[in-house]
Amino acid sequence: MRLIVLLSALLMPLVAWFSERGAFGPTNAEVSAAYPTLLIASGYAFAIWGLIFLFDVVYGLWQATGARRRDATLDAVAPWAFAGFLLTAAWMPLFSRGLFWLCLLVIFGALACLLRCALLLTRDTLPRRAQWLWAWTPLSLHAGWLSVAAFLNLAQAIVAYRLLPAGDMLAWSLVLFGVAAALLLAMNARMRGNVDYAGAAAWGLVAVCVKQSGADLPGAHVAAGVALAVAIALVLQTAWLRWRDRDGLVPGTGTP
């Protein structure tokens, strides 16, 4: 299983490379531009995938070598990491083909798997600095970004299939922001203020704010303010949780 996790981690950047070269159809940026919504983020935000893929490959190498191969927590995480990585890789060609219903199943499935990884590691991170650095951080970054990206994908599916009004998107977009905020704050609380998870999500939310601040869609400026408010709430919650548990979930300072 550990080798399969590594192979699936390597698969993601490989598929992304082909996807950006149009091997599966239009690029992700081209598909996104065809379905504007109030949840779309500025293009620069998606550069975080490079960091996520790099960290996931490092995690794949780390967990497959040395004494970590016998670590019980990493054994429990391995099938969830494998599924999350495989689903992430599968999402890219599906999105290029405009198969939004399948994309939604895949991206929310990947999100569930990566959240499971982060939650499992949270329980065992306190006394183990190496596990925090090489496992908790990569998988938390991935989960944090997907916690935002999944709702961006959902908004585009709504527009693509004309499930809700595309001329006035503010009402249902606010509902999506609310559900996303509830998920982010709840998961962050369960992970006792996961800086990596919250940081990746806040990065995406701020990019939504930047994009919508300059957009001409009805309600765009309201959406920008809401995205920024959720990002600020997430950052403040993380700071409070880490302060409250300053003798607890602090990398390298836990009680062995």
Tens-place pLDDT, residues 165-192: 988 999 999 999 999 999 999 999 999 9
What is the model's pLDDT at position 248? Answer: 55
What is the model's pLDDT at position 256? Answer: 33
Q: What is the pTM of this model?
A: 0.92
Furthest C-alpha separation in the chain: 57
DSSP letter string over 202-233?
HHHHHHHHHHHHT--STTHHHHHHHHHHHHHH
**Block mean pLDDT (10 aa), the chain, length 256:** 94 95 90 93 94 96 88 92 98 94 97 96 63 86 98 96 92 97 97 94 98 94 97 97 72 40
DSSP letter string over 137-166?
HHHHHHHHHHHHHHHHHHHHHHHHTT-S-S
Nearest to 59 by CA among 74, 79, 47, 76: 74
Tens-place pLDDT, residues 72-102: 889 999 999 999 999 999 999 999 999 999 9
What is the model's pLDDT at position 146? Answer: 98
